[in-house]
């Protein structure tokens, strides 16, 4: 029976090449949309995010007054008040954002610098391609060393050139490159732990006025205890300065929640993007099925059962889906790389989405989504068409 379905489907699809090509293109486009959105979501979660303890890490970069004013966290503020906190398991201070330029290959290039201190690697992991992390002693001493990401390496050095132990200049100081890491997606930049192309010791750079403090609690519940202690410190500041400060409401959640928000938006975007080709393919299938109503009515007249006609139409849809999925799967890795390279070359700052193509995500998530979508878009019009009244169809009447 299946062999009969298959041969008939091939013959029918060959007779309707325009319909076949449009349907395959729609399925391939759907596959690409689904894969891109899933990989975007994964770029903001899981192994692509360097922070180790996102669910129990809380960050603060500013405090607000009763009148709506705010005060940025400075190094002096950290040393005077925050450094004496006892409840956090690990406290990390990083710069808010520093944009600096340097000359390379006769071009002026801009980079986002991530200034880090001795506890940084206790809460963050970077995927090293070459070299090593900055040691704790180098961070404590303020040794002028640097870690660069892959995009920075590609912009500063030739393809096969080894960047290790070469120097890069910022603030009039030459920093020796000790490591090269994989790009971090700018989708995680709001965390202020991984928003850099170049990683430098805080003590080896001019002191900045704006910092972000990341508190890693003992567990997720203990974040509330850390915030309570921070509020007690703000009460002490109120006594000294006569200004009542508080934590901004948008800074009271763990950094894991910001990733969850992006994932929710990604799912919503995924549904919207799927809706576009879904409606097009569904309308195309309904239109084509109605065009074949007379053929189906005649087959029913000669005794073809409903399940046979339905099976025939579904087999055609499955064949189109498989071909479209294969094409989409072939195109997606090149598209991922193309998007990253286009973003990298479009601006002065070397940022990327880091959309690393992941076969596990594709096979376990994208393929099932496309198959379900394709089955529904094909089965609904097939069932409607197969159930149409024979007499009305042959008379040319609408049913």
The whole-number pLDDT of residue 48 equals: 47
Q: Above 60 in pLDDT, residue 390?
A: no
Q: Where are the domains of the chain?
A: 2-47+256-394, 54-255
Task: Inform me whether the pLDDT recorded for 391 exceeds 60.
Answer: no
Asked if 56 and 223 touch (Cβ cutoff 8 Å), the reply is yes
Q: With 50 as the cut, is the pLDDT of residue 94 above it?
A: yes
User: Residue 350's pLDDT is what?
Assistant: 57
Q: In percent, how much of the chain has pLDDT > 90? A: 12
Task: Using the predicted structure, report yes or no on whether residue 76 has a pLDDT greater than 80.
Answer: yes
Does the pLDDT value for residue 199 go beyond 90?
A: yes
Residue among 275, 210, 172 at smallest CA distance from 78: 210
The segment with the largest mean pLDDT, out of 115-124, 244-253, 388-397, is 115-124
The pLDDT score that the predictor gives to residue 302 is 63
Q: Tell me the per-residue pLDDT of 136-154, one tens digit each, with 9 for 90 and over.
A: 999 999 999 999 988 888 8
Comparing 7-21, 68-82, 102-116, the range with the smallest average pLDDT is 7-21
* 309-314 average pLDDT score: 69
- pLDDT tens profile 15-64: 566 667 777 777 787 777 777 777 766 665 544 456 677 778 888 888 88
- Report, as an integer, the average pLDDT of 163-186: 87
What pLDDT is stored for residue 267 in this prediction?
61
pLDDT at 276: 63
pLDDT of residue 147: 95
Does the pLDDT of residue 349 top 90, yes or no?
no
Determine which of 93-97, 167-171, 178-182 has the lowest per-residue pLDDT on average: 93-97
Residue 313 has pLDDT above 80, yes or no: no
The predicted pLDDT at position 157 comes to 87
pLDDT-based confidence at residue 14 (cuts at 50, 70, 90): low
Overall average pLDDT of the 71-98 stretch = 86
Q: Residue 85: is its pLDDT beyond 70?
A: yes
Q: Say what the pLDDT of residue 179 is.
A: 95
């Amino acid at each position: 029976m299946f062999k009969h379905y298959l041969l008939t489907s091939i013959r029918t699809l060959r007779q309707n090449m325009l319909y076949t090509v449009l349907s395959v293109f729609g399925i391939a486009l759907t596959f690409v949309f689904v894969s891109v959105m899933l990989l975007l979501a994964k770029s903001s979660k899981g192994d692509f995010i360097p922070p180790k303890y996102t669910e129990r890490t809380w960050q603060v970069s500013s405090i607000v007054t009763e009148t709506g004013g705010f005060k940025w966290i400075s190094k002096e503020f950290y040393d005077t008040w925050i450094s004496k906190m006892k409840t956090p398991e690990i406290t990390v201070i990083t710069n808010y954002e520093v944009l600096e330029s340097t000359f390379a290959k006769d071009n002026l290039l801009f980079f986002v610098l991530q200034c880090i201190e001795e506890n940084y690697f206790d809460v963050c992991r970077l995927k090293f391609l070459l070299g090593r992390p900055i040691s704790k002693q180098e961070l404590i001493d303020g040794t002028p060393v640097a870690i660069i990401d892959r995009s920075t390496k590609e912009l500063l050095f030739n393809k096969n050139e080894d960047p290790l132990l070469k120097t890069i200049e910022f603030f009039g100081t030459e920093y020796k490159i000790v490591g090269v890491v994989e790009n971090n997606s700018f989708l995680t930049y709001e965390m202020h732990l991984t928003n850099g192309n170049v990683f430098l010791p805080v003590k080896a750079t001019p002191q900045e006025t704006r910092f972000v403090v990341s508190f890693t609690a003992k567990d997720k519940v203990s974040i509330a205890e850390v915030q309570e202690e921070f509020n007690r410190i703000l009460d002490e500041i109120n006594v000294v300065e006569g200004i009542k400060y508080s934590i901004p409401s948008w800074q009271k959640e763990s950094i894991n929640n910001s990733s969850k928000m992006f994932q929710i938006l990604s799912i919503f975007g995924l549904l919207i993007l799927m809706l576009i080709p879904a409606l097009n393919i569904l309308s195309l299938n309904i239109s084509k099925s109605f065009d074949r109503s007379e053929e189906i009515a005649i087959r029913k007249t000669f005794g073809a059962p409903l399940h046979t006609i339905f099976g025939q139409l579904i087999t055609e849809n499955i064949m189109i889906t498989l071909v479209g999925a294969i094409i989409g799967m072939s195109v997606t890795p090149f598209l991922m790389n193309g998007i990253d390279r286009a973003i990298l070359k479009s601006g002065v700052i070397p940022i990327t989405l880091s959309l690393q193509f992941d076969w596990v995500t594709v096979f376990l998530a994208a393929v099932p989504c496309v198959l379900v979508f394709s089955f529904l878009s094909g089965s609904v019009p097939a069932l409607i068409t197969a159930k149409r009244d024979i007499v009305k169809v042959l008379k040319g009447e609408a049913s």
